Amino acid sequence: MLTILFLCLGGFLAAFVDSIAGGGGLISMPILLMAGLPAHLALGTNKFAGAFGCFSSAYKYSNSGKTNVELLKKLIPFTILGCFLGVKCVLSISENILNVLVFLMILIVAIYTYLKKDLGKEDKFESLSKENIKKGMFMAFTLGFYDGFFGPGTGTFLTFAFIKIYGFDFLHASANTKILNFTSNLTALILFMFSGQILYKVAIFYAISMVIGGYIGAKVAISKGSQLIKPIFLFMALGVAIKLLYQAF
């Protein structure tokens, strides 16, 4: 019971933070490993719970009117395809090299976000065009693929990409990010289910806590807006970068 309570508290916190600014995997995966789950089983169990937590925050965001449905309809198929290939693909690049590359990219994103004070403060979205839709499709496929085979920092990259490509503020970027994040999580979850890498007696409790955390986190983000999201986004981006650097060295 103490282990279940520990998992539920950790799952709630992970989903709460993730629904606001991404990076919840920094909390949820270590908690499962601390509970004694082997790495592959922890990964599958985390995807199971994370998909439900992601769904609750995505549902809250979609009902708030902060998502761009027309845009998401065009991007979701590319996210699914990218994630499917990412999970299935065996990459030749070593994990240590990948850790360093992702660390550098996230660090650049964090520094740029910090220095550019007006980034994501106002919603500057004007309209969809052939050019920005093509950029979005490439972004959705690439980050879907990345989330399928590796994962850390996906929410951070998606949020930043939505701001840069479409001019969204942090709130609208986070809302659209959560829909694509849920799509890739669900795709990966289905593949993990078929591979038998989910411990359901743990995953169900973990999922319930994440559903509650994701819903409340999205509600807080919607009410507080970009003023709250930006500092948490920066904190989680640096957290992911430090974790990846530690793993690499």
User: Confidence band (pLDDT; 50, 70, 90) for 98?
Assistant: low
Query: Which pTM was predicted?
Result: 0.81
Instruction: Look at residue 144 in the predicted model and tell me its pLDDT.
Output: 93
pLDDT of residue 93: 59
pLDDT exceeds cutoff 80 at 232: yes
pLDDT in tens, 165-185: 999 999 999 999 999 999 998
pLDDT value at 36 more than 80: yes
For the chain, the DSSP string reads -HHHHHHHHHHHHHHHHHHHHS-THHHHHHHHHHTT--HHHHHHHHHHHHHHHHHHHHHHHHHHT-S-HHHHHHHHHHHHHHHHHHHH---SS-HHHHHHHHHHHHHHHHHHHHH-TTTTTS-------HHHHHHHHHHHHHHHHHHHHT-TTHHHHHHHHHHHHH---HHHHHHHHHHHHHHHHHHHHHHHHHHT---HHHHHHHHHHHHHHHHHHHHHHHHHTHHHHHHHHHHHHHHHHHHHHHHH-
For residue 90, pLDDT over 80 is answered with no
Mean pLDDT of the chain: 85
Q: Could you tell me the CA-to-CA distances from 135 to 13, 49, 162 in Å, in that order?
A: 33, 30, 10
Does the pLDDT value for residue 92 go beyond 60?
no
Per-residue pLDDT reduced to its tens digit, 100-139:
776 787 788 878 878 877 777 788 898 999 999 999 999 9
